[in-house]
Structure 1
Amino acid sequence: MSASADKGIVMIIRSTKDLGAAVKARRKGLGLDQGSLAAKVGVSRQWIGGLEQGKAGAELGLVLRTLKALDMPLSLGDPLTGGPTDSASIDIDAIIDRARGNG
């Protein structure tokens, strides 16, 4: 898989395990082993392994460096539509109601 093969794919990450699985899939798709990715990020292979296993408490700065090394841009959007958020138009009560099946 080339570095741009999965551009445009949107993944909803709801847990550290989801993030770890996405990182692992991307790393493998790029043909990298954990040691090679660790060297690119500047962390240990064990740290990459922990991230891929969904270890809670990983330093955010290192996670962001890892995503950058894998060319995995982080984007925040409306969790229901996947579209961009506009903080002036977000109605958290409506989102909760829809999630509960009340809307």
Structure 2
Amino acid sequence: MIVRSVKDLGAAVRERRRALNLDQASLAAQVGVTRQWIGGLERGKAGAELALVLRTLKALNMPLSLGDPLIGPTSSSPSVDIDAIVAKARGNG
């Protein structure tokens, strides 16, 4: 799935959460946020803290991949270390 907007990302999170048979409260507990925060993310609420979004993707085992949107990610695309990004965002990295 190519994510072009916050709403696209929210829809992808909702789809994955449901595929894993998780309710919003269970996912929120794993991520360390409220159920309302998960609901806002799934609705595409702008302004969600990036570190929390990345932590949510990690909890759902949704790897983040960056690549040319016209050709998609390639095997030579560098992998993204979500833990390092979160640590840096928190000032720990």
Matched letter for residue 63 of structure 1: V
Task: Tell me the CA shift for residue 43 of structure 1.
Answer: 0.1
Max Rg structure: 1
How far apart, in 1, do the equivalents of 2:53 and 2:62 lie?
11
Query: Deviations along 1:7-40, whole A, 9 cap, x unmatched?
Result: xxxx100000000000000000000000000000
Q: Which runs of 5+ in 1 are unaligned?
A: 1-10, 87-103
How far apart, in 1, do the equivalents of 2:67 and 2:57 lie?
17
Q: Which residue of 2 aligns with 1:76?
A: 66
How far apart, in 1, do the equivalents of 2:50 and 2:42 lie?
14
How far apart, in 2, do the equivalents of 1:13 and 1:83 lie?
13
Matched letter for residue 33 of structure 1: D
TM-score by length of structure 2 reads 0.79
In angstroms, what is the RMSD of aligned CA positions? Answer: 1.2
TM-score by length of structure 1 reads 0.71
How far apart, in 1, do the equivalents of 2:73 and 2:28 lie?
32
Matched letter for residue 56 of structure 1: A
How far apart, in 1, do the equivalents of 2:9 and 2:72 lie?
17
Matching of residue 46 in structure 1 with residue 72 in structure 2: no
Q: Which runs of 5+ in 2 are unaligned?
A: 78-93
Q: Write 1 or 2 for the structure with the bigger share of helix.
A: 2
How far apart, in 1, do the equivalents of 2:51 and 2:38 lie?
13
2:12 counterpart SS class? helix
Task: Tell me the CA shift for residue 83 of structure 1.
Answer: 2.6
Q: Which residue of 1 aligns with 2:49?
A: 59
Task: Tell me the CA shift for residue 44 of structure 1.
Answer: 0.1
**Alignment equivalent of 1:24, drawn from 2, 10, 14:** 14
